[in-house]
Each structure stands twice: as structure tokens, then as C-alpha cells.
A and B are shown apart, each in its own frame.
Chain A
Amino acid sequence: MSAQLGAVLALAAAWLAIGVAGLAALHRLHLVARWLFPAGGAVSLLIAATALPALWGEPQAAVLPIGLPGLPFHLRLDALSAFFLVVLGGAAAGVSLFSAGYFRQSEGTAPGLLCLQYHVFLAAMALVILADDAYAFMVMWETMALASFFLVITNHRIAEIRRAGYLYLLIAHIGALAILLCFGVLQANTGDYSFASMRAQSLSPFWASVAFLLALAGFGAKAGLVPLHVWLPEAHPAAPSPVSALMSGVMLKTAVYGFLRVATDLLPAPLWWWGVLALALGLASAVLGVAFAAVQSDMKRLLAWSSIENVGLIFAGIGLALLFAAYKMPAVAALALTAALYHVASHAFFKSLLFVATGAVLHATSERSLGKLGGLLRVMPWVGWACLLGVLASAGLPPLGGFVSEWLLLQSFLFTPGLPNAFLNMLVPAVAAVIALVAALAGYVMVKFYGVVFLGQHREEKLAAARDAGSWERLGMAWLMAGCVALGLFPAQGIELLAPVTQLLVGARLPDSGGWLLVPVAADRASYGPLIFFAGVAASVALAFFLVRRLYHGRARRAAPWDCGFPWQNARMQDTAEGFGQPVRQIFEPFFRMRRTLPSAFDAKPRYAVEVGDHFWHWLYLPLARLVESTARAIGTLQRGRIALYLLYSFATVIALLIWVTR
């Protein structure tokens, strides 16, 4: 076993040890919060730091003698796993630091138990990324699913949360079944479930496609791809905010990891329609996610839908990379894959930041509904400004991290006219247009989120008394902010980290631009230098600021808001979250299943209500659930609870078997 893999394993074991220590201090909140969670954060940082050099190293493998007899765990650390470990460690460090201040009063689960679940969840994610055989992978995958399930139902006294947890568990297991079947196909009747053996198999195109579809379904279910996304907007908001941050920021990425592992590493060279399928599903998720995010009125649910959008963009990038790889265009495939992986990293940071910020808001105000928040920037400046950074990154605005991946993704679309397939060429404009629309709508969603929560007047009296986040929470948010800024300002260095990964997966890498400019292909083709860009904006702002003061003055007076001279202004007159969603509801009407209740002209208490639902839920899930229920009921008629009847069944079965055998 080589050094880095050993160190990462030891650190994962340290996570488990911290978890077990939490179990020992079941109700001692102070110990758990102030010592164990920061220790977990330190371990996360160490994991990221240890995995970083492994990006450039040779793949390292190890066999752990645990598990069933004759079936030891195979582990392997290569560039792909190293990259995902860095993302996991980096984002989890900030979330753990935040958690140290977050879990104040125990809510539902005891703090020590929560600490165990949290750290088992982290360790399981790290081991999923390290697994090198299907057996270890599935064991860790299930551990991850179960740990996160228990974290989701932390407040298990609320029926709605139990329901969300159940839905999550159900879809996680449908996905796990698909992944299991996928590995079953990949081992090609050899009985050897190690990834090394799967790589060596040469599957026929038919079976390879079957494996690909199963992987897409299985990992898509975990990542929240349409149509298996319904659990995500339920489960992510139900969990405590740091857990939502981990689930959205990191756990979804393990699904991306698994998909990349199967589609680009274990499977033989991709077929072109695999890429098209992943691209189509990714785009569908992106559009649906952003449209639904725009009409939400619960802040965590809004962020959960926005995660579906971001995962969709990641899968669109991967799909494009597969498409290029199928047509043997490795350089462009590397560009698309870099875009997807860069988005993996930046989404991990900004979404974690936004989720923990909602956690701070939730603790300060105990409100999740956008209709009851407002004006928090004035009373919670720390959280407010941190969240502004996350919002700008999430809206894909330069010079922050979200923009870099969007830029790379759009650049790779501009290369699609080089594809040797005329039909695909014609799809390009449509697809690039959809990406552009999603990016622009993300800005709309984020303005709605930030404007309603942090700006304007307080929509409730009690908000004026909200307290800002504590120092641990600030520390965690500062770390996540630093990640967003670094990913935004130093993309050339960032893609340098991705070069070994794309080299491994598609056999090419982006050129080493070396300096401050991000140059994906050639300098006269396209380049982007966020540092110069940022310096340009900052210099103009500073110059304007000082010149105005120098040439004129800096006097300002405070007065009541103007509002066209209307003096009876109150907080209820501000635009609401529903109002902000109205144009999107109108424009994307076919996407939503809307039920409006309109008052009649003679109502004494006029009431207006609009309910926005998901078509998938109504047309796919409810019929399926009804089918399962009616089948179960039909089978249930066999069960009468009378022993004589059961004996009769046994007798009939024996007779039938005898007839069948002696035939």
C-alpha cells in the first residue's frame, strides 16, 4: 500500500473514530459541537491535502482484508478519485466548521448520534470514491445512502420529514438496484467483480449499452436527474442545513463520480448516442430545475431545485464529452469534461455556502418560507455578505467560479460543428441556446432568493431581533467563500488540477496556459482572464469612487424612502417570492401542473391560491404507486389468515410441482 492511499484510509478511519467518540458522548452537546466537529473538519482538510499530490502520481492500489471471506475490499486511488476526494475534503471542511456552531440545541436526534451519522456519511463517501471493486463500492454506497437517510430524518417527529426520508430511501434503492445490475453486466460472466477485471472485458455494443443505461439510471437517481429527481426537493430541505449542504454539495458529486467511473473508465469506448442521451437528460434536468427553482417559496427547496439544475449542467458537459470521445476528438472531449469537472468543484463550494447560509437564517429566525423573511442583510451582515458571494457564484457571474465552468461549457459547444454527423450539428444551436437560457434564468432565481431573504424590509416583526452567525459558523462560511473566489480567480491553475483527470479519462488535456489567462484551445480562439477582469472592474469602481469625491463631494442624507411620494409604504407592499415567480410561471406554463383557486366577485373573504406541482409526480409516480398498491392488494386477497387455506395453497403448490416435474 502506498503512502497517500494509506494516509487517506487512515483519515477516513479517523472520521469513523470521531463518529464513535460522538456516540460515547451522546448528549454532551458542547463536547460534540466544539471538539468533534472541528476535528472532523481538520480531517477533511487533511484528506484534501493528501489526495492533492495523488492527482499527478501513478494509481495506487490496496487490498483491505475486511468483508466476506474470499471477498476482500479492493481500493485504488487514481487521478479521478483524487480529484473527487479533494472536492469532498475541501467542501466538507467548511461544512464541518460551520456545523461546530450550528448544532446548538439538539433537535430530534441526540447530538452524539448525529455526529456518528455525519462522520459515517463522510467516510462512506470517501470510500465510495476509493472503491475498486463492485462489492466494496456497493457496500459503501449503501452505507452512504443509509447514513444520509438517518441524517435527513433528524427531525423525525415531523411527519413531512419522515415522508421525505422514505421517498429518498426508496429512490436511492431503486438507483442502487440499477447500479448493482450494471456491475452484473460489466463483469461479463467472469464472476470477478473487481474493476480491473471489468476494464479488461470487451463487451459487445449491446451489453455495453445496457450497462451504460443502467449506470445512467442508477447514478442519475442519486444525482437527481429527470425523471428520478422527485426525492431531491423533498429530502434536501428536510435535512438540517449542514447536511443539506453536504448532500447537495458533495453527495450528488459521488453520483457524478460513479457515472464517470463506469462510463469513461470501465466501459469500452462510448457510442455516440450515449453522449446524446446524457446530454438530453442533463439539459432537461437543467431547464426543469431552474424553472421550478424560480417558482419556489421555500428557500431550501429553491436551492434544492437549483442543485438539480447544476447537476443537469454537469451531466450535459459529460454527455458532450462522451459524444466527442465517441467521434475520436479527444482534445474537445477534454474541454467538455473539464467544464463538467470544474462545475463539480465550484458547485460543491457555492451550494454548500448557500445551504449553510440558509441554516444560519433558519436558526436566527426559525423561518424557511420566503414570504416571512426579508431585510436580513441589515441584522445579519456576515451571513448576508457571505451569501451574496455564493449567490453571484451560483448565478454564473464573472469573476466567480460558476462563470468559469459555464464559459468552458459554452466554448465546447462552439466546437460541435466539427462533428462528422450532420444531424448532431444541427442540434448545436438548440442545445447552446438552452444552456444560455438556463444560465440567464439562474441569475433570475438567485436575485429572487437573495432579494427576498436579505434585502428590503422585514416581512415579520421578529426579524429585527435576528442575531448574526457565531464565530464557528463564520469560519466555515469564510472557508467556503475562499473556495468560490479561488475557483473564480485562478481558473488556469484550477484546470491544471483537472489535466491528469481528463488525460486519464479521454486521453487528452487542455493546453497548459501557464499564466493568468485561461486558454482552452488557442489564444486567438478564446481566452478569459478573470484576474485582469476583476482588476478592471475594481479599478473602474475605485477610480469612480475617488474621482467623485475629489471633483464633487461625498455628502449623503438619510430620509424616508421616496417610492414616488407614497408615504404609507409597508413591508407587505414589497414584491413577494410568489410575485417574483409569476413571470416564470407564465412563460414556462407547460412545465408546471398548476391549480389556481380564484375568488368570486361576491366572496366575503376573497382568497387566491396557486399550487405548483410537478408533472412527473402526477403522470409517472402516482400511477406507479397506484399500480404497486393495487397489485399488492390483489396479492393480498390470497392472504386470508386461515391456516386451512394456507395448507391448501401448499398442497396445490406441491401437486403443481409434481405434475411439472413428472411431466
Chain B
Amino acid sequence: MSALGLASQALEIVAALALAPLFAGWVGQCRAWLQSRSAPGLLQPYRMLHKLFNKDSVLAAHASPLFRIAPYVIFGCMALACGIVPTLSTDLPLSPAADAIALVGLFALARVFAALAAMDVGTAFGSLGARREMLVGFLAEPALLMVFFTAALISDSTSLTTIVRTLSAREIGIQPSLALAAVALVMVALAENARVPVDNPATHLELTMVHEALILEYSGRHLALIEWAAALKLFAYACIGMALFAPWGVAHAQSPGALLTALPVLVAKLAAAGFALALLETLSAKMRIFRVPEFLGMAFMLAVIAMLVKILLGGGTP
């Protein structure tokens, strides 16, 4: 563990915390442009967080301490997740402590806390949201794990830094197993981040909500933390996608220079990913909740096929 390693670790988490709301704002702005609406400012998410942090938290009369702890746990999980995914450098001190499977476990931990907190107040929408969130979760989690396994089989390791190092060393070209896994990951990311075909982040129609129903009882700083955590999750998924399928530009060497060039590369990649996400969301319509299992089942199957293709065709290891 070097000083530079620690520095890049700290930089990664700070960059994630700072950039995640911006990324969410960028996606919102692209969506507005594509739908010919006038866009809110890029900094709108920051202003919203600031406003929410300033407000009083209103708690339901019989909310238990679990309800108050959950936002912090969710936020902590997402902050750590952003520290695990190698976005700027592959020289991360946290990397040996948590590999791809542990990252999936971390998302699961946050999800379970969110669902439990939603059930805590005992309102109709809260428990409905919890059920739906867990439904999406138990279908999406295995698919995400299979995507990671495809990459792990290619690089013979489940350590995310090793995966990124291996994948960025191979020549540029489309590999069938990775292409299938990429499609699966996009589908999982849409579902897990409550984006359009599965859930609508801008919805206010109760019966169609998933994520919004889950956090209905939260206000003030708790809501701010959850919103920030949601932005961090979107950021983390974008980074996972880039780490697996476009790992170029991440610093490998022990040099501060590489780290500094990695940051603009990251921002450029995020801008492209955000635009693609907005385009995808604009082009698709929200599906009924009953169709979600089919959608995620397809993602699961694609990821399994990706693994099968990797095993049958072999190759990939440079």
C-alpha cells in the first residue's frame, strides 16, 4: 500500500461524491434536450441536496431507529461501492478487501436496508415499494453477478482491479461474450437505478412507483442522503460499465501524472454514458411492473449465455 495508492483511493471517493450529482444532473439535462423541454441547470441536483439538508427531517410518529439509521447505511454502502470500482486507478488499497462478489453484496446490503426502512413506517405505499424493490433486486442481482463472472472468467480473477488491468491490456475489438454481458449490464443498470423502462425517476403516479414509493416517508437530511446515494449508485453502475467494457484511460502506473489524466478521461466517458442513458430512456416507454420479471429474466439469460460463450469459444485472455 503506497502513499500514492492511498491518494488515488481518496481521490476516487471524493471524485465520486462530487461528480455523482453532476452526472445525475447531466442525464436530466440531456433528457430535457431530447424531449425539447427547457433543461434545469447542470447544478440543480446540488441545489436540491443543499435545500434538503437545510430542511427539518419529519419522521413518522412511530418510526423506529432503523428508519433513521437506514439512510446513513445506504449512503455509506454507496460511497464504499464507488471506492471499490476502479475508475481512476487500479492501484487501490481497498481493492483486496472487496472483489466483484463483495460489490454485489454491498449493493444488496443497501437494498435490504432501503426495503426494511420502507416497511418500518407501515404505510401501504412503503411496503408496496419494498416488495417491488426486492423483486427487482432478486432478479437483477444474479444477472449482475453473471456479468461479473463473465469478466472474471476472461481475466481469471474476481478482483476488480485485476479485471480492469487484464481487460484494458487486450486489443480493441468486439468479443462476443463481453458484448452479450454489456447488453445484460445495461438492462440491469436500468432496473437497479429505477430508470425508464422499469421505473420512472420523475413519476408522481403512486401505483407505478418503485423507488419513489420506497422513500416516500423520508424528508430533510435523510431524503438528501438517499438521493445522493441514488446518484452515487448510478455513478457506480456507470463506472462498472466503463471498467468492464471501456477500461482504457485508467491509471495503472505509480505516477501522479497518469492519475491526473485519468480524471478528464473519466469525465469524458461519463458524459458519453450519460447521453446514451438519456437517449435510451427517451426512446423507450415504461413497462408495466408485471413485465419487469421478463425484462430482467432476459438480462439474466443474456449474462448466462455470455458466460457460456466465453467457456465454449474460450480465448480472451491476452
Contacts and interface: CB of A to CB of B under 8 A. Distances in A.
Interface of A: 374-375, 377-378, 388, 392, 395-398, 403, 406-407, 410-411, 414, 417, 425-426, 428-430, 432-433, 436-437, 439-441, 443-444, 446-448, 450-452, 455-457, 517, 523-533, 536-541, 544-545, 548, 551-553, 555-564, 566, 569, 571, 573-575, 579-580, 582-583, 586-587
Majority secondary structure, A binding face: helix
A537 B290 CA distance: 35
Interface stretch (B96-104, B241-249, B271-279): B96-104
A377 B66 CA distance: 9
Contact of B122 (A375, A406, A417, A436): A375
A316 B150 CA distance: 21
Given A407-B102, A451-B116, A451-B130, A440 B141 contact: yes
Contacts of B142: 433, 436-437, 439-440
B3 interface: no
30 contacts: A374-B122, A378-B62, A396-B105, A398-B98, A410-B145, A428-B311, A432-B146, A433-B307, A436-B146, A440-B138, A452-B119, A456-B120, A526-B99, A528-B101, A532-B98, A536-B80, A537-B73, A544-B79, A548-B225, A552-B53, A552-B221, A553-B54, A555-B56, A557-B58, A559-B58, A562-B123, A566-B124, A569-B123, A582-B131, A587-B293
Given A553-B54, A562-B58, A582-B131, 6 more contacts: A375-B62, A417-B153, A537-B77, A553-B221, A556-B56, A575-B130
Interface string B38-58: 000000000000000110111
A544 B293 contact: no
Nearest to B297: A587
B76 A538 contact: yes
Contact of B79 (A540, A563, A573): A540
B115 A398 contact: no
B141 A583 contact: no
Interface string B78-100: 01100100000000001011110
Interface stretch (B20-28, B155-163, B255-263): B155-163
B158 A556 contact: no
B94 A532 contact: yes
B155 to A, nearest CB: 10
Contact of A574 (B60, B97, B124, B145): B124
Contact of B108 (A395, A417, A555, A571): A395
B270 interface: no
B252 to A, nearest CB: 14
B109 A398 contact: yes
B123 A557 contact: no
B149 interface: yes
A545 B72 contact: yes
Nearest to A534: B97
Nearest to A457: B122
A411 B158 contact: yes
A560 B108 CA distance: 30
Contacts of B125: 563-564
A299 to B, nearest CB: 15
B157 A526 contact: yes
Given A447-B116, A561-B121, A563-B123, A528 B102 contact: yes
Nearest to B98: A533
B128 interface: yes
Contacts of A566: 124
Nearest to A377: B64
A398 B106 contact: yes
A574 B123 contact: yes
A486 to B, nearest CB: 18
A161 B32 CA distance: 63
B157 A524 contact: yes
A426 B310 CA distance: 10
Given A428-B307, A429-B307, A443-B138, A529 B98 contact: yes
Contact of A573 (B62, B108, B123): B123
A317 to B, nearest CB: 15
Majority secondary structure, B binding face: helix
A447 B112 contact: yes
A409 to B, nearest CB: 10
A580 B146 CA distance: 26
Contacts of B61: 558-561
Contacts of B237: none
Nearest to B225: A544
A447 B117 CA distance: 10
A147 B14 CA distance: 60
A441 B137 CA distance: 9
B134 interface: yes
Contacts of A447: 112, 115-116, 119, 130, 134
B250 to A, nearest CB: 17
A548 B221 contact: yes
Contacts of A451: 115-116, 119, 127, 130
A253 B123 CA distance: 41
A407 B146 contact: no
A455 B307 CA distance: 40
Contact of A556 (B59, B225, B290, B312): B59
Nearest to B145: A436
Nearest to A417: B311
A562 B141 CA distance: 31
A524 to B, nearest CB: 5
Nearest to A522: B157
Contacts of A407: 101-102, 105
Contact of A557 (B59, B102, B124): B59
A429 B146 contact: yes
B76 A540 contact: yes
A473 to B, nearest CB: 21
Given A433-B304, A538-B76, A545-B72, A575 B127 contact: yes
A539 B97 CA distance: 15
A580 B116 CA distance: 13
A406 B134 CA distance: 19
A536 B94 contact: yes
Given A429-B311, A441-B138, A450-B116, A544 B158 contact: no
Contacts of A444: 134-135, 137-138
A308 to B, nearest CB: 18
A429 B72 contact: no
Interface string B277-318: 000000000000010010000001001110110011000000
